[in-house]
Structure 1
Amino acid sequence: MFKSHHTYFEMDLPYEVLVYLFKYLPPSDRQAASETCRTWYAAASDQCFVDNKAVVFYKAELYDGQEPLDILVKSPVDFSNFVFSDVEVSNKTKGFWDTLGENIKGITLRSCDTCEKMFVYIIEKCPNLEVLRIESCRELFMSGRLLEGKSDGITANSLENLKVLSLTENQYLTDALVSRFTDAAPKLEELDLSGCSLQFHLGLVKRFYPTTIENKPLTPSESVLTFYFVLQVIISRAPQMKRLKFSSTLIDGSALKLLADVEDLRLESLEMFGCDQLTNSGIVKLISYQTSLKVLNIGMCSRVTDQSVVNICRNLVNLESLNIQRCRAVTDLGIVELNKLKKLKTLNISQCELITKEGLENGLLSMKNEILEEFDIHSLNLDESGLIMISEKLPNLRSLDISYCFNAVTDKSIQLIFKNQVWLLCLKMSHCDKVTDAGLTGMGKAHDDEEAVVSNYDQCYTHHKIHLGSRAEEEILRDARRKRDVKKLCEKYSSDSYTGYSLERLKSLRELDISGCNKITDVSLTYAFYFKELAHLNMSMCQQVTHKGIEHLVKNCPSIEYFNLIDCYNLKDEAIKVIVKGLKRLKSLNLRGCNQLTNKTIDAVRDNCKKLKFLDVQGCRAISAETACTIGNIPTLHTVLVSKPTNYMTEDGLKDRAPAPTFLPALMRKLLSRRSP
């Protein structure tokens, strides 16, 4: 429907055109568009979008013929990916699998309660399954008999279309269980054993495999999970195996050397995050053979040094993503080689304390880099000039994390980020406490003939009087003066074309983290926040923010879905009312530690939030657990976090001594079961 010269007319776009246009929208916008009319709903539910969606069941009771399974069975949309998290998958759901099984391509079971027989039934009913993830399902593997024998109905090709197999965080996993899965999956391309008790010690292998034929085990062990056997699986599937994940295991250099010797293995992705036993010698040998790697994750591996980084940069010329987070032995000697990675799009060098500005300047930033899109340098020991150099040499960044870079992130450097990084979708600058309203609004230096607003505030509040108060009082006075002056400048230039280099320049911003930036006030929320696509906002510990700034924020950023306001103790009920009334897409609201909130906040949430899934009001002393439980009628809500029920103060200041419920989860489930359809 369009309006032109006071005349309304309709223009019906073809279905194919709508689908094409919707491809340019993020998922949340596409969902909002689908609520416009039936035609738009059909276009937004096209199979090309549905294939990238997953239906999530979280802590729900699942029964055939009842919600939510009944809705999916009757739905005209054919969903193909399902995630079951903290639920019981029992024989009461057989009708669901009978009806939808043939269309299902992806299943994730996360901390689920299900039996072996039911799992086999699910596999039989999903012949087109391509992705199977079984995470932290201890009971399913405890007996060690899962998929054992053809009597269970499992044939050699029951998982013949399976490409991705993840068995993470399963402590009872054994070689025999892995063998049964992989034998039934001839097209397997990805294997994930992260967080499993994978054994690498040669003595242990000899104990369970005392006799072998041509270096292959006679029978997979039913007692232990060994890298020795997993290696045999990889060898047998080498030509098609593309991705391996061994994060949070005891994989060491010797294991990598064995992996490097596998013929016909051409890996594209290898993840070994948090593997403390990794050594340089193993990494060097592996990457000398696996030169086709595009993704390498060796973050949190304490033994990795410059030797590994240098060889990575020289051998892996096709690398697109590299994570060396908290590899503390890495120095500038390794970082200077990063300029050899011409295809690198994602780089994480956070928490590497020995990396300096000089290393980046001589390596990654030796010339303008227009390829890198995601850069994580949080907790790096840089100065202001180092961050300015990053802003100038990396013009096409989409994601930047500069959290905890205390010395680098100032009003001056952050304004140059706003000037040069206009394509940013995600910006994280948590706990950068030197940033003020002057930096976010672009008024740090409002004009060439204007003096920087905050340049002298960190020296002393006044040069003419001796301040007799405490240091904290002096800081409060300084902040008040800064806020006043920045506000005057914003009002002065708001009607002119000049906007400075403010946060507002990042028009496409979708995620922003300014938690712990305590000098940010309502002035920034009023004059710098104009983001129609902002969905994630973390303002925890921004303690100078009040309802006045929140009003402008909600008005100018209507698409916020995840809002974190932990320890914003100046917020009152009226601010939360503005949030829940104005943010129609709100899914997660974290109000922990906002101790001025009362039960009126819960009333406002209950009356206005139609899509809320998560609410945290822990530490809000004036909110009673009993009142918090009354919001159970919100149909989308699945998690409410409240403080332990105790006596609390009412609005009249009197203690309410009514007994609190002794078992809150049971009460919540009861309320949810009674909600109106």
Structure 2
Amino acid sequence: MKRKRNRISSSAVQSCSQQIVAATLPDDCWETIFRIIINHYDDNHSLRYLNSLSLVSKRFLSITNRLLLSYNVSELNYLRRILDRFTNLTSLNIKGYSSDLNKLLRKISRFPLKQLTSLNISNQPTFPANGLRAFSQKITTLTSLTCSNMHSPNSLNPSHLFLIAECFPLLEQLDLSNPSGGKTYSSSYVDGVEAISLALIKLRKVNVSGFPINDQSLFHLFNNCRYLEEVTLSWCDEITSLGLASALRDKLTLRSLSFSTVKDLEMFSTSQFIDSLVSLKGLTCLVFYNLNISDELLYSIAREGLPLTRVGLLGCTGHSYAGVIDLLSKCRRIQHLDLRYTDFLKDQHVVELSSFLVDLVSINLSCCHNLTPSALFTLAKNCPSLSEIKMEKIGGKAVGNSDSLGVYPQLKSLYLGKNSWLSDKIITKFAPIFPNLQLLDLNNCNRISEGICQVLRKCFKIKHLNLAGCLEVKLLGMNFVVPNLEVLNLSYTKVDDETLYVISKNCRGLLQLLLEKCNGVTQKGMQHVLENCTHVLDYSFKMKKKYKSS
């Protein structure tokens, strides 16, 4: 009895101590702790953890009510409760909403969302003009509006541009990209773009990719928006190099330019365009898509020493390795580099250029068909800050002796999808070399089988694993705990119920499981997952409709 009383007394003391600690910590300390917890997850998963914390006490409920800043609206269920409780929301994402968006926006406008600054209504069949007008009358704090990928023809017409200009004068970011039917240019769009450029005097970032914009509209945009910093102009067929050169001239506020066109392809190395481009002394991001550019353009940028931290030359032609190496050797602060579809790049080139990329954080060399896996290890060895490598659809040869490859703990994300040469023998060499991998994408690598289990055993920090389309992948050998795996994509594989049982036993922390077109899965297999992986909130909706009954 005495021992029992001592145990009870000890437990009571411990409980009392915990309560004292909880009581003595100020709210801002608890708020910091809770933020650390939820920042690990996306918005809707964060909500789940906030709900759990709020059950502890009224004080915790009050603190957690301040923490959810962004919410993805997928259905009306619980929306009223969310908007009533989390009045500090700054961002709403309603893209792809399948019901009446005008009605939804009118409902949202009735809530006291006094700090809401960002609204995303992309992927809609029509532009919700009436809803946005009602929304703007109640919520006047919006600084970011995204309405890209409107589905139906003429879903984003000139009258909608006037509405945006009238209703949201505080906008600093605007995305009008890729409206369906947007390739059909009409002169009436000129007046709409001019209205936006005159009304949105605070505009800093604009994306009009695929939008019917011409040289005149572009001039209005650059000339009237005095604070413009970031412009994305992909696939704007009516813009010419002369028009772009005129708009760019001495636009000293511009920090980021992304551009591509299918018109006037060979005119982007003229002296006029080069002079305008290098006049942008504050330019930190420059991305060209599918343009014919010359070495002279790259030499000129290098000579001016523009403070570039992000460079992309995706699918560009007309230049050579000499221009690329000159640019990279002079612009030494580059952190993000994208050279997809650069067919002249070879392994020896990567050896040379990597010596200039000491600050490199991410690189994309996908579809550089003359590269081999040796380039991957060269980059990891020579770039001490490199955390992300993308090398999909490259050439493949033997990697060599893994004992001499070294260990590179800085690499966190590795994308090697669509590489037919990638086999179990090769991927098992990655495990000891990249011990801190958190994301591994091996989609459509059909020579991968049981080797992935060895990778998971050694790279136990992996959170996101993509094996979609890996037809021979086998996970039955995963007889060990994979503690950190949160996202697993097994779509278009031969995964079956037995495999799902193994996954459910050893991947208890799963948040998302994708099983599209997995014909070997039945309701029984899914039940294993839902019973054992209690945190799963998202799994393939197509799977739910297609699985067979057991």
TM-score per shorter chain, which class? 0.7 to 0.9
Question: Which residue does 1:398 correspond to in 2?
Answer: 438
For the 8 Å contact 2:336–2:363, the answer to whether it is kept is yes
Cα distance in 2 between the residues matched to 1:432 and 1:150: 46
Equivalent of 2:206, from 151, 162, 165?
165
Question: Which residue does 1:346 correspond to in 2?
Answer: 388
For the 8 Å contact 1:292–1:318, the answer to whether it is kept is yes
Structure 1 range deviating more: 526-535 or 173-182: 526-535
Cα distance in 1 between the residues matched to 2:511 and 2:273: 42
Q: Are 2:45 and 1:29 equivalent residues in the alignment? A: yes
Equivalent of 1:313, from 326, 349, 354?
354
The alpha-carbon deviation at position 400 of structure 1 amounts to: 0.9
Letter aligned with residue 416 of structure 1:
Q
Question: Which residue does 1:111 correspond to in 2?
Answer: 150
Cα distance in 2 between the residues matched to 1:341 and 1:151: 45
Question: Which residue does 1:19 correspond to in 2?
Answer: 31
- SS of structure 2 residue aligned to 1:387: helix
For the 8 Å contact 1:190–1:242, the answer to whether it is kept is no
The alpha-carbon deviation at position 512 of structure 1 amounts to: 0.8
Cα distance in 2 between the residues matched to 1:186 and 1:149: 18
Give the TM-score of the pair, scaled to structure 1.
0.61
For the 8 Å contact 1:330–1:352, the answer to whether it is kept is yes
Cα distance in 2 between the residues matched to 1:140 and 1:193: 13
For structure 2, the residue ranges without an aligned partner over 5 or more in a row are: 1-10, 55-60, 71-85, 251-261
Alignment of 1:474-513 (within 5 A): 502=480, 504-505=481-482, 507-513=483-489
Letter aligned with residue 460 of structure 2:
V
Cα distance in 1 between the residues matched to 2:37 and 2:273: 42
Question: Which residue does 1:439 correspond to in 2?
Answer: 477
Question: Which residue does 1:370 correspond to in 2?
Answer: 409
- SS of structure 2 residue aligned to 1:545: coil
Change (3 A) 1:95 1:141: farther
Q: How many residues align?
A: 482
- SS of structure 2 residue aligned to 1:114: coil
For the 8 Å contact 1:174–1:224, the answer to whether it is kept is no
Question: Which residue does 1:633 correspond to in 2?
Answer: none
Cα deviation 1:63-110 (Å, max 9, x = unaligned): 4xx433332342335221112222314366323224334332343443
Alignment of 1:139-158 (within 5 A): 139=182, 142-146=185-189, 148=191, 152=195, 154-155=197-198, 158=199
- SS of structure 1 residue aligned to 2:539: strand
Letter aligned with residue 457 of structure 2:
K
Equivalent of 2:135, from 96, 111, 135?
96
For structure 1, the residue ranges without an aligned partner over 5 or more in a row are: 217-222, 443-501, 565-587, 599-677
Q: Are 2:328 and 1:284 equivalent residues in the alignment? A: no
- Name the Cα RMSD after superposition: 4.1
Question: Which residue does 2:65 correspond to in 1?
Answer: 42
For the 8 Å contact 1:84–1:110, the answer to whether it is kept is no
Cα deviation 1:404-446 (Å, max 9, x = unaligned): 4444x343x3332222211111112334455435422x2xxxx
Letter aligned with residue 352 of structure 1:
I
Question: Which residue does 2:511 correspond to in 1?
Answer: 535
For the 8 Å contact 2:285–2:311, the answer to whether it is kept is yes
Question: Which residue does 1:430 correspond to in 2?
Answer: 468
Cα distance in 2 between the residues matched to 1:230 and 1:72: 46
Question: Which residue does 1:271 correspond to in 2?
Answer: 312
Question: Which residue does 1:326 correspond to in 2?
Answer: 367
Cα distance in 2 between the residues matched to 1:106 and 1:231: 32
The alpha-carbon deviation at position 367 of structure 1 amounts to: 1.3
Change (3 A) 1:53 1:289: farther
Cα distance in 2 between the residues matched to 1:344 and 1:416: 24
The alpha-carbon deviation at position 232 of structure 1 amounts to: 6.2
Q: Report the structure number with the largest CA radius of gyration.
A: 1
Structure 1 range deviating more: 340-349 or 190-199: 190-199
Cα distance in 1 between the residues matched to 2:467 and 2:410: 22
Change (3 A) 1:191 1:299: same
Cα deviation 1:261-287 (Å, max 9, x = unaligned): 573521222234444666434433332
Alignment of 1:168-317 (within 5 A): 168-170=209-211, 172-197=212-237, 227=268, 234-236=277-279, 238-247=280-289, 249-254=290-295, 256-257=297-298, 260=301, 263=304, 265-275=306-316, 279-306=320-347, 308-317=349-358
Cα distance in 2 between the residues matched to 1:186 and 1:356: 54
Cα distance in 1 between the residues matched to 2:374 and 2:238: 34
- SS of structure 2 residue aligned to 1:537: strand
Change (3 A) 1:69 1:57: farther
Change (3 A) 1:511 1:437: closer
Question: Which residue does 1:458 correspond to in 2?
Answer: none
Cα distance in 2 between the residues matched to 1:107 and 1:250: 27
Cα deviation 1:649-673 (Å, max 9, x = unaligned): xxxxxxxxxxxxxxxxxxxxxxxxx
Question: Which residue does 1:555 correspond to in 2?
Answer: 531
Letter aligned with residue 78 of structure 1:
Q
For the 8 Å contact 1:530–1:557, the answer to whether it is kept is no
For the 8 Å contact 2:157–2:189, the answer to whether it is kept is no
For the 8 Å contact 1:160–1:184, the answer to whether it is kept is yes
Change (3 A) 1:318 1:141: farther
Cα distance in 1 between the residues matched to 2:35 and 2:375: 44
Give the TM-score of the pair, scaled to structure 2.
0.74
Cα deviation 1:218-267 (Å, max 9, x = unaligned): xxxxx97774687666444x2332223333x3343458527625735212
Cα distance in 2 between the residues matched to 1:551 and 1:118: 47
For the 8 Å contact 1:55–1:79, the answer to whether it is kept is no
Equivalent of 2:173, from 108, 131, 148?
131
For the 8 Å contact 1:530–1:556, the answer to whether it is kept is no
The alpha-carbon deviation at position 395 of structure 1 amounts to: 0.8
The alpha-carbon deviation at position 371 of structure 1 amounts to: 0.4
Letter aligned with residue 533 of structure 2:
C
Question: Which residue does 2:80 correspond to in 1?
Answer: none
Equivalent of 2:112, from 65, 75, 78?
75
Cα deviation 1:283-303 (Å, max 9, x = unaligned): 333323332211112223444
